Amino acid sequence: MAPELPPGHPPIRTPKVGVLLLNLGTPDATDYWSVRRYLSEFLSDRRVIEINPLFWQPLLQGIILSFRPQKSGANYKRIWDNEAGDSPLRVISRRQASKLQERLGGNVVVEVGMRYGNPSTEAGIKALQDAGCQKILLAPLYPQYSATTTGTANDKAFDVLKTLRWQPAIRTLPAYFDTPTYVETLAESIAEGVARLDFTPDVILASYHGMPVEYLENGDPYHCQCLKTTRLVREYLGWPADKLKVTFQSRFGSAQWLQPYTDATLEALPAEGKKRVAVVAPAFSVDCIETLEELAITGREQFEHAGGERYAYIPCLNDSEPGMAMLETVVRRELAGWI
C-alpha cells in the first residue's frame, strides 16, 4: 500500500522508464519559410558545419538561405506524404515509437524527438517527464556513430537537461553498426529486397550519408564503421566484395568528402557495363529525403541518363516487423537493470 500523503501534497506518479527515439529532423511543410527555418537550424549546428560562425553565418543567412530553401522545398514535395499531410520521416518515426511502445509494455514510455524541427528533443523529454519517467534512454537511431549525427543528437538532449531542476537518470544508446541482430536484420532485408526484383543487379550500392574527409582525419569513426557494417553484411550473405560496394552521398560545398561518391558512381557504372543496379542506405533507420528523393528518384534519373537500364532502391528497415524486432533488441539491451 502506498504511504498516505500529507494534506496539500502534490500527487506522486508511479516511476516509469522512458525511451526517446532521436532522429535528424524535417521541415514542418514544404514552403519556403518552413524549409528555411529547418535548414537554418540544421546548418547552424557547429557539429555539422565546423566553419567559424563569423565567416559561415553571413554566408548561410545571406546567399545560401536565399536560394537553397526553394530547391530543397521542391525536393520535399516530390516525397511528401500527401495522405498524412506530413513528412515521411515524421510519419514513419511515429509508427516506430508506437510499435516499440507495444513491444516494451506499459511501464516504459516511448517518445520521438528530432534534433532539428518538430517534434523537438525538448518536447520529447518533457513528455517523458510528464508521464513520470525518472530514467530515460536517449536512443539516436544512427547505426554508425558520427559527431554530426549521434553526437549532436545527444548534445541537444544534454542542453535540455541543463535547464531541468529534477533531472532524470540518463543512458545513451551506443552505435549498433556491428551488433549481430542489426547486421543479420539488415542483411536479410537487402537479400529479400533483391530477391523481389524482376531483374538481377550487376552491382548493389550501399550508399551511406557522406561527411567531409577532414572530420575523419580529426577522429570521427563513422567511415570505419560504415565499412565494417558493409563487410559484415557481405560475410553474412556470403557475397563477394564486388557485389556490394560502399559509396557516399549528400555532399555539400566544395570541400573533399568521403569517396567514392554515390552520384558519380551511378553515372559511371553504365560505361563499365553495369547497367542494372540496386541501392540500399544502411546509415538511415527511416526513409527520408536523402533516401526517397536523392536515391530513389534522383539516383534513378542520373543512372538512366548515363545509359543504365534497370534501377531499384531497397527501403530502410523503417517500422517493418524485422526492423522493430531488431530495435527492441538493442533498446532492451541498454535498459537492462531498469526494466
CATH number at residue 132: 3.40.50.1400
Cα 18 to chain centroid distance, Å, stands at 20
288 shares a domain with 258: yes
pLDDT score for 13 = 72
Q: Are 222 and 146 in contact (CB under 8 A)?
A: yes
193 shares a domain with 80: no
134 shares a domain with 199: no
In a domain, 1, yes or no: no
DSSP element (H, E) containing 189: helix 180-195
146 shares a domain with 46: yes
pLDDT score for 2 = 52
In a domain, 7, yes or no: no
Instruction: Burial-class residue 311 by CB neighbours within 10 Å (0-12, 13-18, 19+).
Output: buried
Q: How far apart are the first and last CA of the chain?
A: 21
Q: What share of the chain is helix, strand, coil (3-state, %, to 5)?
A: 45, 20, 35
191 shares a domain with 147: no
206 shares a domain with 121: no
In a domain, 132, yes or no: yes
Instruction: Burial-class residue 314 by CB neighbours within 10 Å (0-12, 13-18, 19+).
Output: buried
pLDDT tens for the chain, 339 residues long, are 556 777 877 777 789 999 999 999 999 999 999 999 999 999 999 999 999 999 999 999 999 999 999 999 999 999 999 999 999 999 999 999 999 999 999 899 999 999 999 999 999 999 999 999 999 999 999 999 999 999 999 999 999 999 999 999 999 999 999 999 999 999 999 999 999 999 999 999 999 999 999 999 999 999 999 999 999 999 999 999 999 999 999 998 889 999 999 999 999 999 999 999 999 999 999 999 999 999 999 999 999 999 999 999 999 999 999 999 999 999 999 999 999
Q: 121 lies in which domain range?
A: 16-175+322-334
Closest CA to 122 of 152, 81, 164, 87: 164
329 shares a domain with 282: no
Please give the order of strands across the beta sheet that includes 276-280.
244-249, 203-209, 276-280, 310-313
247 shares a domain with 307: yes
In a domain, 253, yes or no: yes
Amino acid at 205: L
In a domain, 267, yes or no: yes
Q: Are 260 and 203 in contact (CB under 8 A)?
A: no
In a domain, 129, yes or no: yes
236 shares a domain with 137: no
- The DSSP call for residue 108 is E
238 shares a domain with 291: yes
In a domain, 144, yes or no: yes
Q: Classify 186 in phi/psi space as left (phi over 0), alpha (psi -120 to 50) or beta.
A: alpha
pLDDT score for 3 = 61
207 shares a domain with 107: no
**Number of domains within the chain:** 2
167 shares a domain with 282: no
In a domain, 339, yes or no: no
How far is the C-alpha of 87 from the C-alpha of 81, rounded, in Å?
6
Q: Are 134 and 168 in contact (CB under 8 A)?
A: yes
